[in-house]
Amino acid sequence: MIETKLLVGRYLQFTPGASQHLPAGAHVPAFKNINCPPLTIQQSTRHNPGAAYNPFRNVGGQRESAVVGGTNANKVHRNFKWLPWCAGDIAETTLDRDVLTGPMSGCTLLYYRRGGVLKAGHIGTVTVTAALPATINTNVKAVWNNFANANPGDVLGGFNPVGATVPGHPPAQPGDVGGQTWGLITTNGLFYAINVWVQNAPPNTYRIAGVHPVQSMTLPQLQNL
Q: In this structure, are strands 45-46 and 63-69 parallel, antiparallel, or unpaired?
A: antiparallel
Distances (CA, A) of 134 to 17, 37, 141, 181: 26, 32, 11, 23
So what's the pLDDT on residue 121? 98
Cβ atoms of 193 and 206 within 8 Å: the answer is no
Of the candidates 167, 148, 15, 31, the residue with the CA atom closest to the CA atom of residue 90: 31
Tell me: the pLDDT tens digits for 69-128? 999 888 888 999 999 999 999 999 999 999 999 999 999 999 999 999 999 999 999 888
So what's the pLDDT on residue 64? 86
Query: Within 10 A of 124 (CB to CB), how many other CB atoms are there?
Result: 23
Distance of CA 191 to the CA centre of its chain: 10
So what's the pLDDT on residue 196? 96
Burial class (CB in 10 A: 0-12, 13-18, 19+), 45: middle
- The amino acid sitting at 19 is S
Q: What are phi and psi of 21, to 5 degrees?
A: -75, 165
Residue 5 neighbours by CB under 8 Å, 6+ apart? 41, 65, 77, 78
So what's the pLDDT on residue 49? 52
Report the C-alpha gap between 91 and 121 in whole angstroms.
Answer: 6
- The amino acid sitting at 181 is T
Cβ atoms of 133 and 124 within 8 Å: the answer is no
Tell me: the pLDDT tens digits for 25-51? 778 999 999 999 999 998 877 766 554
| Helices marked H in 97-176 | 135-150
Judged by DSSP in three states, 91 sits in strand
